Structure 1
Amino acid sequence: MKLLIASLLFLGAVSVNAQTSKELIGKWKLVKETKDGVDKEIKDDTYQVFFDDGKFEGIVGSKTSNGKWKLSDDNKVLTVKISIIKVKFTIEYFDAKRRVINNDMTGRLEYEKAAD
C-alpha cells in the first residue's frame, strides 16, 4: 500500500512539471530576467507567442519579430529561430502556467502564460 501511494505521488509530481509542445502553445509574458546573478529591469511588455504549426512571434513593446520554434525530443531544449539567428534555450522549469529558460547570451528568463 505504501508503495502504491508513493508511486501515485511521484506520478503526480511528474505531471505537474510536464513539458510538451502542446503546453508551450500560446502567449507568454516575460516577468523576470536575470543575467550573471543580477535582475534586469524589464522596460517594455515582452512576450513570446508559440503557434502549433511551429511559427513563433517575439513581441517587445510595439515591435514584433516572426520566426520558428522547436522543442527537442526530450523536452529539455527550446530552439527559436528568427531570420538567420538561431538561439537554443535550456529549459529549467516548464508547466502550463510558468516557464523558466536559460541561455548564456540572454541569461535566465522567467515567463508566465498570458491570458488569451
Structure 2
Amino acid sequence: MNAKAESRANTFGDRIRELRKSKGYSLRKLAPLVGVGFSYLSKVENDRLDFDGSPSESLIHRLADVLEADEEELLLLAHHVPATIAKQIFDHPDLFRALARCNERQLRAIENQACGPTE
C-alpha cells in the first residue's frame, strides 16, 4: 500500500465520513444529494447497516460522484469488486487462482515487483 492509501481510513464508513467532512457537508446535507435519509447515511458511516453490512453499488457510485472520490477505492472498502477488476479476473482466471494460493509474503513480493516498494 502506498503512503497516500495509508493515510486513508480503514473502513468504508470511516472513509465516507472523512470525505464528507473534507467537503464541509453535514449528514443532513449529504444524504439528499445521494438519495438516502440522513439516518441511513449515519449507519453507513458507522458501519452499522442491518443487511449484509455494505451499501449498494449504486449508492457507492453516487457517493463517489458527489464527494469526488475514487469509486474503485470505495467499492473495495465496501467489499464490492469493481467491474474493472472483475473483468481482469474473468479474463485471466488462472492468474487469479494462482494469486489466491499465495501467502502474504509472496503477495507482497508480487506487489513490489508490479508497483514498486510501498515504503
Give TM-score scaled by structure 1 length. Answer: 0.25
Q: Based on CA coordinates, which of the two structures has the bigger radius of gyration?
A: 2
More strand by share: 1
